[in-house]
Amino acid sequence: MTELAGEFADRLREELDFRQEARNATEIGAGLEGTDEVHIPVVHRDLSTARVLVMEWLDGVSVRDADRIDAMGLDRARLADALLRCALRQMLVDGRFHADPHPGNVLVLEGGRLGLIDFGATGRLDALQQTSMRAMLVAVQQRDAALLRQAVLEVATLRRRFDDEQLERALARFMARHLGAGAAPSAAMFNDLLQLFFAFGITLPPEFSTLFRALVTLEGTLTTLARGYLVIAAAEQLAAEWARASLAPGSVEELLRKELASLALLLRRTPRHLDRIATIIERGDLRARVSLLADEQDARALTRLVNRTVLALLGGVVGVLSVMLLGTPGGPPFTGDTSLFQFFGYFGLFCATVLILRVLVAVLRDGVN
């Protein structure tokens, strides 16, 4: 919750500073250079300040105005495809994306191009998060629960231990429910996915909350632009196209070149590391550090065991002392024929019985095995 609140506060501060919005528009526009389908307005940096933003004028109609779009002779489904392709390119390739693509921020320009405005709310994904998100889309397209689990765990934070197979079965049920035959998948299903991860103690990076919010907003814009548009199905097709493109000979060759360069650097450092390890062993300075009880569940189990052991020992000691007091003759009178030693003996037996019964009840509740 703290990370989500921090992410929200950061986005709010960005929206209140037009200089940040100018930088956002410039960065996103640079990533879309060479794209004829979507236009980003040029920002006049020399005329803009923290309070004033001056940018290129775009003359177009809102995507809500279906009649005027039809009057322009444009194919609304093709426009929706272009908007989705642009948004996914920002999210999965460039890493910087428009986080609030509601219908008021998307215009249809003359000539059939789309225009994006209002870059106060943007999101950013690093290279690892982009790779994970692309793998998630491919897993959804292939209905592969194992691939989806692997893609999520690459960037997630694990709050507690869980069974991988149980998580995979839960993801398989999730895809069967939302992506099965006859189902109508939508971006809103990401909310159910987040709830599933929360149940397993899995926390996604706060940037993903901005991403999922943008996807839900984008779905509303796309269905407004082209009624009945299937966002998830179209996104699956784009993910499959990009996956095939990554397996093209040129892409594979480039990937191998990068991997060989990384391997060369690793091999170059290996002799130095081996020499350092040998020197440490020769000096007798080799140490191993083990973090005991690093897992919260193990610490809780040990604490429960220690508490029961202490209660059992305390009950036994109090019981023995009480029996000794009852066997001690004489003593100051307390009431009637009962001496003070006998009173404390009976009271101690009562306390010892309560302590022992607490331990027995706890053991029986957890199971004698």
Q: Is residue 274 part of a domain?
A: no
Do both 244 and 346 map to the same domain?
no
208-234 residue pLDDT tens: 888 888 888 888 888 888 888 877 777
Which residue ranges in the chain fall short of pLDDT 70? 180-188, 239-266, 286, 288-297, 367-369
Q: Is residue 25 part of a domain?
A: yes
131-189 residue pLDDT tens: 888 888 777 777 888 888 888 888 888 877 777 888 888 888 888 887 766 665 666 67
Q: Is residue 223 part of a domain?
A: yes
Please, are residues 32 and 38 in contact by the beta-carbon 8 Å criterion? yes
Do both 91 and 227 map to the same domain?
yes
Do both 70 and 171 map to the same domain?
yes
Do both 165 and 100 map to the same domain?
yes
Q: Is residue 288 part of a domain?
A: no
Residue (of 319, 310, 301) closest to 359 by Cα position: 310
Do both 78 and 182 map to the same domain?
yes
Amino acid identity for residue 108 in this structure = V
Q: Is residue 192 part of a domain?
A: yes
Q: Is residue 317 part of a domain?
A: yes
What pLDDT shows up at residue 44?
92
Q: Is residue 358 part of a domain?
A: yes
Do both 123 and 237 map to the same domain?
yes
Query: What average pLDDT does the structure give for the chain?
Result: 80
Question: How many other C-beta atoms are found inside a 10 Å radius of the C-beta of residue 145?
Answer: 19
Do both 189 and 328 map to the same domain?
no
- Of 223, 250, 277, the position where a domain reaches its end is 250
Domain that holds residue 180: 1-250
- pTM of the full structure: 0.60
Q: Is residue 277 part of a domain?
A: no
Do both 111 and 239 map to the same domain?
yes
Do both 181 and 301 map to the same domain?
no
Q: How many domains would you assign to the chain?
A: 2
- Of 250, 277, 311, the position where a domain reaches its end is 250
Alpha carbon distance 325, 331 (integer Å): 10
Do both 331 and 241 map to the same domain?
no
Amino acid identity for residue 117 in this structure = I
Residues 6+ apart with CB under 8 A from 144: 138
State the first-to-last Cα distance of the chain, in angstroms, to the nearest integer. 38
What pLDDT shows up at residue 248?
52
Alpha carbon distance 193, 187 (integer Å): 10
- Of 250, 265, 288, the position where a domain reaches its end is 250
Do both 32 and 122 map to the same domain?
yes
Alpha carbon distance 212, 206 (integer Å): 10
Do both 65 and 126 map to the same domain?
yes
Alpha carbon distance 140, 175 (integer Å): 7
